[in-house]
Copies of this chain bind each other. A is one copy, B any other.
Amino acid sequence: MRPLFHPAIEDVAPQAILHALSDPARAAIFARITQAGCVNACSAVSALGDRVIPKSSLSSHIKVLREAGLIRCERNGVEMRNHSRCAEVEARFPGLLAAILNAYAGSDAPGAGTP
Contact = CB atoms under 8 A, between A and B. Distances in A.
A32 to B, nearest CB: 16
- Counting every copy of the chain, the complex holds 2
A62 interface: no
Contact of A94 (B19, B21, B99): B99
A58 B66 CA distance: 31
Interface of chain A: mostly helix, strand, loop or mixed: helix
Interface residues of A, number: 24
Given A95-B95, A103-B96, A106-B93, A22 B24 contact: no
Given A93-B103, A99-B93, A99-B99, A15 B24 contact: yes
A69 to B, nearest CB: 12
B93 A102 contact: yes
Contact of A22 (B15, B93, B104, B106): B15
Contacts of A104: 14-15
A100 interface: yes
A23 interface: yes
